[in-house]
Structure 1
Amino acid sequence: MAANLLDFDLEGLAAFCDGLGEKRFRATQLYRWIHQKGAGDFAAMSDLAKSLRTKLAEVAEVRALPLISEHVSTDGTTKWLFDVGHGNAVETVFIPEADRGTLCVSSQAGCAVGCRFCSTGHQGFSRNLTTGEIVGQLWFAEHRLRRSLGLAEGERAIDNVVMMGMGEPLQNYAALVPALRTMLDDHGYGLSRRRVTVSTSGMVTMIDRLREDCPVALAVSLHAPNDALRDALVPLNRKDGIEALLDACVRYLDKAPRDFVTFEYCMLDGVNDTPELAHELVQLVSGQAPASRRVGRVPCKFNLIPFNPFPASGLKRSPRERVLAFAQVLQDAGIVTTIRKTRGDDIDAACGQLAGEVQDRTGAPARLARRRELIPIAVAGAAR
């Protein structure tokens, strides 16, 4: 099969071109054509030597993801469903705002983490996406939006990318990092490190690796102030625990483009939304709780997320007044706190709703149902 040039960051493309007997500047030209201009036809790349265009046509292609469907919400949010083969499909969401355009990108077909409140995890897991499949979501969306919005050459439709779609990005590290580098490269999409966010459920070792290899903005799905509750909501927590996670966050900030970590907190009715838990959360990130005394204060902001219910979860959305009261506790402690506005929920494009189509290889539905029976979440929430 021909090489998909979307799989390469600039260094990888330079190595590929070297194998064709071409100099590095040719790789830079080719990279610009693909990512800045959205070109997929080598014949249209007019400043490349004809001999190179001929070679490329024989051994390479710009292989876009086949589009299955496009849905546009009443609030302007757009959701695309892409075919990634063998019965799997992934979702990508564009969220237009007054000051930026944000693209929510998937990294896996499904997710193996199995968080209780996330419909993606209840679909199970099939496979990691390739670098080309990750970048291909941005490639498609950026250039489709430029055409539909009538943007002039050089105008950008997307200036904010969040790895918050289907999957745990840090479980697909080998494909993630080249994709991030393409997003950041001035010859690619030229995005600011502050405007590219990797959201993780808390893979401590991989957070440390990302810090060294490609530090971008970091968001952590926290959802609880103690290990007992977080173990029930985010099974990955059982490996390292909150203390180790906070420690990794503090280390990450040494090289991060932002001076804070964003903690995401899905508000679940009667589970993690009480004032007592809000006060416990304040103690945790201020270094006053037993689990965080070794770490000290964690510079952070909180993003409180309305839960988007689905039947298999057995959970409900927190009432708005309880969300506001929870936020007030954090704000009174001097912690920057926002309440995420639900976008695209009429097309199932809101946070936690992305499910796509997954040919599960893990037995996730049965496994998560058993966990729900064995670990009653209200009991976990009461444990300290």
Structure 2
Amino acid sequence: MLPPLRPLVNDHTSAQLAQWCVEQGQKSFRADQIRRWIFGRRANSFDEMHDVPAALRAKLAEHFDFFAGEIARHQVSKDGTEKLLITLRDGEQIETVLMREETRRTICVSSQVGCAMGCIFCASGLNGVKRNLTMGEILDQVLRIDRLLPLEERITNLVVMGMGEPLANLKNVLPALETLNQKGGMGIGARRITVSTVGLPEKIREFAKVGFAYNLAVSLHAPNDELRTQIVPVNKNIGIAEILKAADEHFEATGRRVTYEYCLMAGINDDPAQARELVKLMQGRVAHVNVIPMNPVASIDCQTPSQPRTQAFVEALERGGIVVTVRKRKGADIDAACGQLRISAKKDEAASVLPVLQTAP
């Protein structure tokens, strides 16, 4: 049996770390120093924190792990997108992506190992969900990407749209976001933080009450329940009407316009008639539709619509008065869609042991 893992230093909130410092016979302000090294000065170990007393650094190294795992793969796209596959300390793997656009540096982080939602176009849930990520494991993805950037660059935006359903792990996602938002953390404004959900009404309501005006993105993908249940199986027990009602309440509570994401799949949900049906759903709402042409996944039988087909869908929305954008495809040459790199790594691992299995007596 493997020995129990040590806590991650970033599984502690600012207040908890301050309390821990006091318990070690140190002043509480030492926690602020430690966090400045982690989130501001890009330290890679406790030893680098030279203004922290040596005795406290030794205690930190004794009690905590600094990083949540190791970078198993690092891929860079022609368009500047970067993707990391991180192997966590228990052997599970997650993905995180850096997207570059002019002055923006947006990081997309995972919230779970795998996903239980079963969306037909997404590689994240092909093997189900293994577990929630801890607060420290969520923050670790940000730290890893941050340390890849040149000294003069910083992460400007954060989206929780990677592997997993964030609202199913609110107990760890929320303190991670608060840490990133804090001045002593990364200082990313709440308006630059977006959380994506498949649509869990009660969790959306809980998310609206946290006291921070984070952005909400709902992965809708269909204009009616029959089609949406085919694309997003959990919709069977929820329904679009309940999701829209909860999203409306989020807007009322936060004042933040809700984004409805629509992954466009050829021959499935890309007909202009479906766009017109979507218009009816969105009318009267302060909303934004983000059309996302499918990022092809080898193991999933869904294809990207042609550019003219995508344009016809978008124009149908615009004629209906809907605010719409088309997300640029990024990182297509590096398996940038959620879960792709993890699956690719597992296939490579299986292939590497296959000859041994075939020749074993």
**How far apart in 2 are the matches of 1:358 and 1:12?**
36
Give the 3 Å change call, closer, same or farther, for CA 331–18 of structure 1 in structure 2.
farther
What is the TM-score with the length of structure 1 in the denominator? 0.83
**How far apart in 2 are the matches of 1:83 and 1:43?**
23
- Map 1:66-215; keep pairs closer than 5 Å: 66-145=70-149, 149=150, 151=151, 155-213=152-210, 214-215=212-213
**How far apart in 2 are the matches of 1:159 and 1:356?**
29
Aligned to 1:370: none
1:85 to partner: Cα distance = 4.3
Which runs of 5 or more residues in structure 2 are unaligned? 347-361
Higher normalized contact order (CA 8 Å, seq sep 6+, divided by chain length) = 1
Match 1:305 to one of 270, 292, 307: 292
8 Å Cα contact 2:179-2:185 kept in structure 1: yes
**How far apart in 1 are the matches of 2:38 and 2:337?**
30
**How far apart in 1 are the matches of 2:325 and 2:135?**
32
- Map 1:206-225; keep pairs closer than 5 Å: 206-213=203-210, 214-225=212-223
RMSD between aligned residues: 2.1
**How far apart in 1 are the matches of 2:113 and 2:339?**
15
Aligned to 1:338: 325
What is the TM-score with the length of structure 2 in the denominator? 0.88
**Once structures 1 and 2 are overlaid, which stretch shifts more, 36-45 or 122-131?**
36-45
**How far apart in 1 are the matches of 2:248 and 2:213?**
13
Aligned to 1:285: 282
- Map 1:357-368; keep pairs closer than 5 Å: none
**How far apart in 1 are the matches of 2:156 and 2:228?**
33
Q: 1:314-355 deviations in whole A, cap 9, x for unaligned? A: 322222111111111211222211111111111111467454
**How far apart in 2 are the matches of 1:14 and 1:322?**
56
Amino acid at match of 2:221: H
Aligned to 1:247: 245
1:2 to partner: Cα distance = 3.7
Amino acid at match of 2:264: M
Aligned to 2:357: none
**1:260 aligned onto 2:247:** no
Q: Which runs of 4+ in 1 moved over 6 A?
A: none
**How far apart in 2 are the matches of 1:129 and 1:179?**
11
8 Å Cα contact 1:105-1:165 kept in structure 2: yes
Give the 3 Å change call, closer, same or farther, for CA 64–315 of structure 1 in structure 2.
closer
Aligned pair count reads 341
8 Å Cα contact 2:85-2:341 kept in structure 1: no
Partner secondary structure for residue 95 of structure 1: strand
**How far apart in 1 are the matches of 2:94 and 2:338?**
14
Give the 3 Å change call, closer, same or farther, for CA 317–189 of structure 1 in structure 2.
same
8 Å Cα contact 2:123-2:343 kept in structure 1: no
8 Å Cα contact 1:115-1:234 kept in structure 2: yes
Amino acid at match of 1:328: E
Give the 3 Å change call, closer, same or farther, for CA 20–86 of structure 1 in structure 2.
closer
Which runs of 5 or more residues in structure 1 are unaligned? 287-296, 360-384
Partner secondary structure for residue 92 of structure 1: strand
**Once structures 1 and 2 are overlaid, which stretch shifts more, 240-249 or 54-63?**
54-63
